[in-house]
Structure 1
Amino acid sequence: MRLPQIQIRTTDAKIDLQSHDSKQFIKQPKATQSIEQPAAILDIKTTSGRLKIDSSQARRDLGLIGPIESSNNYAEKGKQLALQGAARRAKEGRQLMESAGKGQGSAPIQSIAKQNHGPHRPGPYNIKFVPSIGSVKIDYTPGTTNINITPQKPKIDVQVNKPIHDYTPGKVTGTMVVRPNIEIDVIG
């Protein structure tokens, strides 16, 4: 006895797939930035220094004096010489008066002439520094400088730009080229 046989034939499916890649574009624009630094406020206050030089004593030592002071000096010197001359003449008159009538003749006049005439010794000689030491007076008052600085904060303005994103998704298309098939035969 023969048993029937089953014969199975299968055909695989064949698919033609076409894929298209996805496309993606990303760009990040730079941030928009504005920075401004205002200048610092600078305040400078100064007072001038003062230098006073008094050289009037040194000028007097050198004989350089003004016309008013010079005429005052000459007037004082003339007054002193006039007083000395009057005193000398009074002294000489007293000498003549005291010796008058004592039989001396012209002896008192001769002694007065000797007093007023003849070599006079000058005063002692010495070295003199002209102008004298310390005759120039110097007075200095230094100036001052005050500096005040007020810093200013920077002004920063930042605007963040969003990224540019463009995306095209990929595609897969498929076409069935061969359909799957199963054939079953019974042989008998």
Structure 2
Amino acid sequence: MQIPQLRMESTFAQLGLNINKPVQSIKQPQAEMNLSQTPAELTIVQGKTKLQIDSSQARANIGIMTSMQFSDTNAAYGREKWLQSISEKSQEGDRLMRIYTKENAIAQIGREKGLRVLEGGYRPPSTSNDEGVDVSFQAVPATINVKRNGMSIHPVTRPPELSYTPGKIEPYTIQYNSLKISVVGSQLDKMM
């Protein structure tokens, strides 16, 4: 006797996947430094140089005198003659006082004075050997001022630019699952 059997045939479902990978991009824009350099300031001040030339002594040496120089020269000459006269009078008095020398002092003094009148009168002072020009020079150094103004930095930073496209998975069916059941070895109605 045959025992009826149930026979099952099944096929598994097969799935396929369409995979789109995720995409991520990162861009970093360049930062801006914004440097600015203020020029330094240089100030140079040159003082005036002083030059003095005094030629009054040179003019006096060649006989061209100012009124003050002429007055001073005459005063010096008068003083010199005055002191010389005092000295001579003192010496003449000493000679007249010495009677014991048996010298004819009055005649001798008269003869000396007569010869001196012939020698001449006023003579201007002799010229000096130097030129008589006084030159004075006074140099004033330059004043230099430096002002450093420095530099300024104003950086501008930029955040990174991120873009992200998420991945996508799309499933699809390659083969559907199935199950077949059949009865074998039986006289039974196969309708099920």
Q: TM-score, normalised by structure 2?
A: 0.48
Greater fraction strand? 1
